[in-house]
Amino acid sequence: MTPVTARPLPNRASPLDVERLRRDFPILETRVGGHPLVYLDNAATSQRPRPVVDAERAFDLMHNSNVHRGVHTLSLEATEAFDAAREKVRGFINAREATEIVFTSGTTAAINLVAASYGRRVLQAGDEILLTEMEHHSNIVPWQLLREVTGAVLKVVPVTDAGELDLGAFQALVSRRTRIVAVTHASNVLGTVNPLRRIVEVAHAHGAVVLVDGAQAVAHVPVDVQALDCDFYAASAHKMYGPTGIGFLYGKAALLEQMPPWQGGGGMIHAVSFERTTFAPPPARFEAGTPPISQAIGLAAAIDYLGAVPAAALAAHELHLLHQASERIATIPGVRLIGTAPDRVSVLSFVVDGVHPHDVGTVLDARGVAVRAGHHCAQPLMLRFQVPGTVRASFGLYNVDADVEALVSALGDVRRVFG
């Protein structure tokens, strides 16, 4: 198998040919209500390019078989492709070993795995789990469930009015009882990119491990788990131009080796008898049952696709769209931005005075503009900003200036419809 290297360093001289990239996404040719589709819901699910769809389709049509333990040709081919996909993920986030990559159904499953396996093993009554106000429900609820069975205590780091993590409060809240710090890399509502390296340093100094929810970051910023020194990192393929139904958990080898299984079944055992079962080493120990094979191959294709896009040019393009949209929307009477931190990925949330976010989203959809409206699975953050929800526009590599113009124009229609 050809070794896969980490994501290459950004080439600041490389241009981003957005029009060429758009041709890889046939769905962008769709019309909604007679209008060209303007897809600005990338933070929920990004679209898939032809190479990703083709990779899955080729496997399904020509190589479909179950992996591991098979001795026939199709099984061997499937196993080789599946194992190569794990190596792709390792290289993408610069993990030390491919065995540190566990395939899951997505970020939610990855976080639940850590809570159910690592958390139950190490936590005792009175131990502390530190979260932040900007977390997605997937990085809140698993820890609440863990609290109920262990007697652990949840503590929450506040967010400033600008949508930044209050680092002073974080440092004050970390204590000798802190065992786990669970924090998002980038907020799915605010777009805020958190200072992970500093967070990890402080947590480790107090003996705590750090789990990072990377769902909103991996498609927008280079991730190097060794440089970050985080203990766990979770992400989903469908937010990085890959298929739904698959994601991954990175865990430091020493931690994964100590963790018990969280699900039982085929593929995760060494030997089974009615008296006793012994378990396979990581990552197989955490991958009970038939894995998402074609989806893993689609994820590998998505990594290849992202790896071919100049990283610096992509970041500049997305930030250009974010800043342009922020400036234009901020001038519309009655529209208020939520989250203005200087370091953000391309996520923009706002509210329209007197109009429910769902109504805004419906009017925009009638103009062909697809956004997300609601609490975005971040109800504690909505409470923090005293809003029932927001409208969220999120930009990806295929969005263009005309998409921003369409969003602004449709928001003008919202004002006309609702006065």
Buried/exposed code over 173-197 (b: 16+ C-beta within 10 A; e: otherwise) = bbeebbbbbbbbbbbbbbbbbbebe
The fold of the 18-47+310-418 domain, in CATH, is Aspartate Aminotransferase, domain 1 (3.90.1150)
The residue annotated as part of the active site, out of 58, 377, 387, 408, is: 377
- The pair of structure tokens assigned to 66 is 């179950």
Residue 418 — very low, low, confident or very high, per pLDDT cuts 50/70/90? confident
- Return the domain boundaries, the chain: 18-47+310-418, 54-307
Q: What's the pLDDT score for residue 6?
A: 35
- Separation of alpha carbons 71 and 303, rounded Å: 29
Residue 69 — very low, low, confident or very high, per pLDDT cuts 50/70/90? confident
Q: In 44-113, which ranges are continuous DSSP H helix?
A: 50-62, 73-93, 107-113
Active site residue 377: yes
Mean pLDDT, the chain, integer: 95
Residue 59 in this model has a pLDDT that exceeds 50: yes
Match domain 54-307 to its CATH number in 3.40.50.300, 3.40.640.10, 3.30.465.10, 3.40.50.1820.
3.40.640.10
For residue 262, give the nearest of 117, 137, 60 by alpha carbon. Answer: 117
For residue 44, give the nearest of 305, 382, 375, 411 by alpha carbon. Answer: 375
CA distances to 8, 11, 88 from 307, in Å: 7, 12, 11
Percent of the chain at pLDDT exceeding 70: 96
Helix-strand-coil percent breakdown of the chain, rounded to 5? 40, 20, 40
Residue 87, number of CB atoms within 10 A of its CB: 18
Residue 14 in this model has a pLDDT that exceeds 70: no
Range with the poorest average pLDDT among 8-12, 45-49, 163-167, 264-268: 8-12
Q: What's the pLDDT score for residue 311?
A: 92
pLDDT in tens, 147-205: 999 999 999 999 999 999 999 999 999 999 999 999 999 999 999 999 999 999 999 99
Q: What's the pLDDT score for residue 415?
A: 83
- Separation of alpha carbons 286 and 22, rounded Å: 37
Query: For residue 370, what are the β-bridge partners?
Result: 39
Cα-to-chain-centroid distance, residue 54: 23
